[in-house]
Amino acid sequence: MALVIVLILIVSLSSISSASFDISDPEYTNQIIEEINTPSIEPEEEGTLYLTVKNPYPEDENSVMENITFKVEIYHYNHLDIEKDISEVDEPPILDENGTSSMRELDELSSDESEELEFKIQSFEDTDEGVYSLRFELEFWMSGEREIMRSRGFFTQEEWYEALGDENGVDLEGLNVSGLLYDSSFEVKDHISRWPQYALGIVSTVSGILAVMFYMQEKYGYFPYLEKTFDNWSSKLQEFRSRFK
């Protein structure tokens, strides 16, 4: 009888200490990457990917994320009608000078605690302009269990559509993950120089001012020197033309 009571107490304590939430619930997993800011960079330039990783789970003795590894990969290229796997791009951008993937390790995140991460993105002179897709992987331990979450980019179309066919929602077990993250992207683009725009704006402004001044001179005689200057330059232009006749 005493043994039965002890077993009941153990089961009861286990149920009390177990997490009161579903780790895979999109309500939480959609908040893990709390903020993200991706750059638009020019060929042969550098930009920074900023993101915040958060522990979105309710406060609980079992909700601490420990031994965290967050991984970022550039995996796909798209420009107009051209799509390529990153392995087919001749000179792709790289992360942290390490290649097309990089990672960060964190000791732990308690409930509602977050950590800001930065990843340097370097492009090269011959880097193709276009949109480069990013995929994310998060690995951590919680309540003594190893959890892995990945974004859409880690799965083939066949794996993804097969998982979506599950009548109970996405088949996470079939994808071998504890939850789903979302992808992101950044752009490599040769920005057009702005000086022609500025020059055009200046010319338009000056032309508008001169038009008003000529009108005021012709109607009210407010700018007599303007008419004199115009006549002077007109005479010089006429003289210049006559030399080439």
Q: Per-domain residue ranges for the chain?
A: 22-188, 195-242
What is the pLDDT averaged over residues 21-47?
Answer: 94
Within 8 A by CB and 6+ apart from 187, the residues are 38, 39, 40, 41, 130, 131, 132
Q: Work out the end-to-end distance of the chain between its first and last CA atoms, rounded to an integer number of angstroms.
A: 125
Helix H or strand E encompassing 57: none
Please write the tens of the pLDDT for every residue from 139-169.
999 999 999 999 999 999 999 999 988 777 8
Alpha carbons within 13 A on the beta-carbon side of 68: 20
Residue given tokens 């033309």 in the structure block:
241
Topology classification of domain 22-188: Immunoglobulin-like (2.60.40)
Q: What is the β-pairing status of strands 145-151 and 101-109?
A: unpaired
Q: What is the pTM of this model?
A: 0.71
Please write the tens of the pLDDT for every residue from 37-60.
999 999 999 999 999 999 999 998
Distance CA 48, CA 225 (A): 56
Average pLDDT of the residues of the chain: 82
Distance CA 233, CA 241 (A): 12
Buried b (16+ CB within 10 A) or exposed e, 44-59: ebebebebebbbbbee
pLDDT reported for residue 60:
85
pLDDT reported for residue 3:
44
